[in-house]
Amino acid sequence: MKDKIFSFIEKSSELAIELQRELCKHPAISPESGGEGELSKCEFLEKWLRAHGITELERYDAPDSRAKSGIRPSLLATIKGKKDDERFWVMSHLDVVPPGEESLWDNDPWTLIIEGEGSERRLRGRGVEDNQQGLTSSVIAALAFVEQGIVPERTVKLLFVADEENGSLYGIDWIIKNHPGFFNKNDLVLIPDSGDPKGESIEIAEKNSLWLKFITRGLQAHASRPDQGKNAHLAGADLALNLFSALNKKFSKKDSLFEPDYSTFQLTKKEANVPNINTIPGEDVFYYDMRVLPCYKNEEVLREVDLVKKIIEEKYGVKVDCEIVQQKESLPTSSDAPLIRLLSECIEEVYPVKARTMGIGGGTVAAFLRNAGIDSAVWARIESSAHQPNEYALLSNILGDAKVMALMMCK
């Protein structure tokens, strides 16, 4: 059976290219980034899957008045297996990020460009790697069973979710909250959304994330009369530096599972204050992106932030407000979980490389599943060109990852 499945996948280059080409024609950009959401892309994919024999399809539409037709759709495809008590899921996302500065692209970002020959062809366009590589691989793997009349060992679920790029409020988070029992506790979930060029890295844990907005409120004055004002920018700058020093000192543990192996506290976005040089700002706003090792809780970080904030308020006579823009804590998947053992075995059989487990500082949809008690792994053999101009995916990775997924479906 394995030879028959692999033969189908190896002959599916044009099918994979066709699907990638059509997906590229449907930009699925979130309303936060100026787009209309995923509906057009989801409707195309649903029609395409039906035409190719995957007909058990369900839509899960999260309401969002900003999006086309007022919804953010996710699509579920089911291929029934011999066993239904331990289902195998592949979860990819429909949405993509905007192309950015289009002058940096060598072509229209929404038109698939193919470079090279044979299985080493490179497919270029926005979204082809993030996350259409994983999406296409999962579809090719499923079609290897459907089109040849082979029943997989376990029921297969392909889930194509909305809103991954902007926090999943209208995607997997909404599905879990609004559809109890959607997942079973012993389900196995693969998320093909991160990895490395060799396919060695299996992500099983994430750092906790904490995005904070700081608003320093002082008293505006003429720059020549600082005695009549309270410089919010100066106080904010001192606060930013003191936070960096205090947080790195307080939360200094290391964990070799992660790269980097320590918690990170990074000053990022800065909002404009006064438009002219000779005015002392009465208000100043900046942001921190914090990625904290799971051995710490976000509430511990917030307590330390509050201590530093009070010191600055007393020193400068200002008021500092701290707002949580986004926060997330995530449980890990055990490195010895059945999912990880199965995935590692299949990776080694296809590529072959020895897989290793790791943690990341970035956030993925896996966090929502792990916090719900569902084992999940983030893995793909990937070139890591996501979010860049001239984003690309290798055809060999699409087909190779499809083989790994197909093996997991039949073992």
Contact 76, 94 (CB under 8 A): no
CB-based contact 83:155 (threshold 8 Å): yes
d(CA 259, CA 254): 10
Amino acid code (one letter) for 391? E
Of 330, 62, 96, give the one whose Cα is nearest residue 172. 62
Answer whether 371's CB lies under 8 Å from 364's CB: no
Residue 95 appears among annotated catalytic residues: yes
**Contacting residues for 349 by C-beta, under 8 A, at least 6 apart:** 407
- Nearest Cα neighbor of 354 from 137, 203, 201, 204 is 201
66 in Cβ contact with 31 (< 8 Å):
yes
| Helix, strand, or coil (residue 310) | helix
Contacts with 373 (C-beta within 8 Å, 6 or more apart), sequence order: 185
Asked whether the beta carbons of 133 and 23 are under 8 A apart, the reply is no
CA distance 321 to 319: 7
Q: For residue 185, give Cα distances in angstroms to 172, 201, 378.
A: 16, 24, 18
CA quadruple 307, 252, 368, 47: dihedral sign: positive
**Catalytic residue among 38, 64, 95, 283, which?**
95
Residue 253 CA to residue 256 CA, distance in Å, equals 10
* The two three-digit tokens of residue 289, written as one number: 């992106």
Find the catalytic residue in 38, 64, 129, 164: 164
CA-based max dimension of the chain? 82
Active site residue 164: yes
149 and 80 in contact (C-beta within 8 Å)?
Answer: no
Assigned token pair, 104: 């940096």
- Which tokens belong to 288? 């921190």
Tokens for 167?
């926090």
DSSP letter assigned to residue 111: S
The residues that are catalytic are 95, 164
